[in-house]
Amino acid sequence: MREYLLTLCITAAVTYLLTGPVRKFAIVAGAMPEIRARDVHREPTPRLGGIAMFFGLCAGLLVADHLTNLSEVFEKSNEPRALLSGAALIWLIGVLDDKFEIDALIKLGGQMIAAGVMVVQGLTILWIPVPGVGNVALTQWQGTLLTVALVVITINAVNFVDGLDGLAAGMVCIAAAAFFMYAYRIWYSYGIEAAAPASLFAAILMGMCLGFLPHNMHPARIFMGDSGSMLIGLVLAAGAISVTGQVDPDAMRLFSGSERNTVHQMVPVYIPLLMPLTIIAIPAADLILAIVRRTWRGQSPFAADRGHLHHRLLEVGHSHSRAVLIMYFFSALIAFGALAYSVNAASMWIVLSVVFLSTIGLVLLLLPRFTPRAPRWAERFVPPRYRRRGAPAAVQQAAPAQASGAAGRTAHGSTALSERAKSAASGDRFREYEKERA
User: How far is residue 2's CA from residue 231's CA, in Å, rounded to a whole number?
Assistant: 26
Q: Is 69 annotated in some ligand binding site?
A: no
HSE-up of residue 327 (Cα within 13 Å, Cβ side): 35
User: How far is residue 131's CA from residue 32's CA, in Å, rounded to a whole number?
Assistant: 50
Alpha carbon distances (Å) from 215 to 29, 30, 176, 384, 385: 19, 19, 20, 22, 21
268, 247, 229, 191: which is closest to 79 by C-alpha?
247
Contact call for residues 87 and 121 (beta carbons, < 8 A): no
Q: Is 159 annotated in some ligand binding site?
A: yes
Alpha carbon distances (Å) from 148 to 124, 163, 253, 254, 372: 9, 25, 30, 30, 45
* Strand-pair partners of 135: 129
User: How far is residue 208's CA from residue 16's CA, in Å, rounded to a whole number?
Assistant: 8
Going by the annotation, the residues of the binding site are 159, 226
Going by the annotation, the residues of the binding site for Mg(2+) are 159, 226
